[in-house]
Structure 1
Amino acid sequence: MEYRRLGASGLKVPALSFGAGTFGGQGPLFGAWGTTDVREARRLVDICLDAGITLFDTADVYSGGASEEVLGEALKGRRDRALISTKAGLPTGDGPGDAGTSRARLIAACEAALRRLGTDHIDLFQLHAFDAGTPVEEVLSALDDLVRAGKVRYLGISNFSGWQAMKSLALAEKHGRARYVAHQVYYSLVGRDYEWELLPLGLDQGLGALVWSPLGWGRLTGRIGRGRPVPAGSRLHRTADYGPPVEDEHLYRVVDALEETARETGRAVPQIALNWLLQRPTVSSVIIGARNEEQLRQNLGAVGWSLTGEQMARLDAASARTAPYPYFPYQRQEGFARLNPPVVGAACPGDAAGTPVPVRTS
């Protein structure tokens, strides 16, 4: 397993991390994702740790906290071998204090997560969404207190827009608060919007990307393609409305390129889609999920090799979309591009030279 620095921090994370959204399995969305119990979770955690996957990601809204509870039980006796990332901020109830990132809510959410996870600290505590109703200074002050108290080691954000992230980073610097080092984002071969604003921001500000749904909300598994619509029993029928939309023709164009590359490499379609992400700028770790051992082991095959430049170019071309304003002039017009050269394809941030930091292999 390759390890990379998480943004501009000293924390080293594995190139692949494990998403515990399938743990617990309660509710219409998370129940469709998976219903992994503690026994099954322990087995998946065993496989991850043996393969060098040390970062496990969850959130308080995943199955109403059950995901955190199952993950905590699965890590008992080997907490020191793992990094735990969890998120807070989205609504967990109907009460006035059950949503957002106010000081009161963040402190309570952190304490509740620590209890469910059965640990005394959270390695990476992330805001699940921007809260427009709470002053950014209040949010940063509360998070800084949690870091100073030793309950949180590093801070991150998830699903922020560029201006929301930049305002937060600027105020953290101005007031000497603990700074965000990670941005958990949607990014895939069928969803490259991240590249238009958030990727340049990540490069400039040292925000490492933790990629969620790297297989395009289940579309890049190899089961869907031209002449092969979504299978009748696919969970995508139940969860598609929760995720980013993808036009059929665009999906088929990407899958065609993936399948051509699969024939050349002898690799599975999901492995190629994950490997492509691992070569993108700012990506610190790609979060993989699995409902069973077979899925997990297949995803582990995405590391230890690299697509060629020609194969990367093929996938880039198949998945390219015209950027929205104000980004498309920089994408399409030479004068604009001279002022802001494209960053896609640059080295991933890591050490001072901007390259990934390999620590060990396993």
Structure 2
Amino acid sequence: MTSPGGRPDVLRGPEDARVTTIELFFDVVYVLAVTQLTELLLHRLHPAGVADAAVLLLAVWWAWVDTAWITNWFDPDQPRVRVLLIGLMGISLVMSSALPEAYGDRGLWFAVAYVALSVGRSLFVASALARRSNLHRNFQRLLVWRTVSAPLWLAGGFASGPLRLGLWVAAVAIDSAAAACGFYVPGWGRSRPAEWAINGAHLAERARLFVIIALGESILVTGTVFGALRHDWATLAALASAFLGSVALWWIYFDHSAEAARQAIAVAEEPGRLGRSGYTYLHIPMVAGVIVTAVGDDRTLHHPTGESDPAVIGSVLGGPVLFLAGFLLFKSAILGVRSRTHLTAVIVLVALGPLGLVLNPLALSALSTAVVATAAARSTLLVARTVRHPG
């Protein structure tokens, strides 16, 4: 990693890959954000509601991941950076608390908080970097992009109904396209990933911790719902299926691939390119998959032996499909590996969709968990076989 240029008292050392306690403290707010998103989607299991939740998930993700990139360059233990993170944490708390009513009375609160995060963070970084450094120009470009989307977020906060959603879709599309477009600004050109001097191991660890946040929230929701229900064999079986499903998702991500990917990006010639593709974009479907899976677990726990309506089928099967699809793309981008095991699991889960019309939620959840667990076990066995027989 080369120096990004800036005031040396606030920059990380080039080999400093540790995740500091203030970064972990900052992430606590996003436990609330993921919980709120799960709750919002749970009560909006229809196409328009899914679109509502998707927009807010992307906003939450950009609020978090942009901060993760900043702490990759700036030392969070330095007073000015620590104060910045605490300020961003407070604003994130306001944003997260507004999520359940973001399409109701708290829309403006959400929009103002999100804009304050995105614009304020970029202003701080642009002022802290040496003016002739590549990253200074890069954050000037990012500031332009965030400033362009800001009026759409704020206008959506004042609007209501479909107009709010339309304005926010346009705003989050701009924010999501920024990095893919190299933050292109007429007259300033675009930024190249080769100029993004990051510590790949640090960014990988930050992303892994966010996956843990999402999985932890899923278990928290499952345990809370189970505790409030009458305990019988059906709810106990649904709890077991939900728990084992979360374990299987954890196993798939953390058993081997997460560490292998961390090592790959740590030694990559252009870690910025891998950081953009694998950790900035391709973690989104995995996090979304965990949230959708948690919604499916909630619905299954409430009515394990009832009928499986489209919302139940979509969440019970769709959550793992999203996670596995994102994981497939992530492995391909970082490790250059195309996993037939996980692709087969995606195909099987999609094929189970019509069967859900004749199965109750518990049976469908059990089948989904079995498919994901089988993929996790087979992947582990293949890795162990490769280690024993590398030729």
TM-score range, shorter chain: 0.3 to 0.5
Which one has a bigger Cα radius of gyration?
2
TM-score, normalised to structure 1's length? Answer: 0.32
Which has the larger share of strand?
1
Which has the larger share of helix?
2
Q: Which has the higher contact order (CA 8 A, sep 6+)?
A: 1
TM-score, normalised to structure 2's length? Answer: 0.31
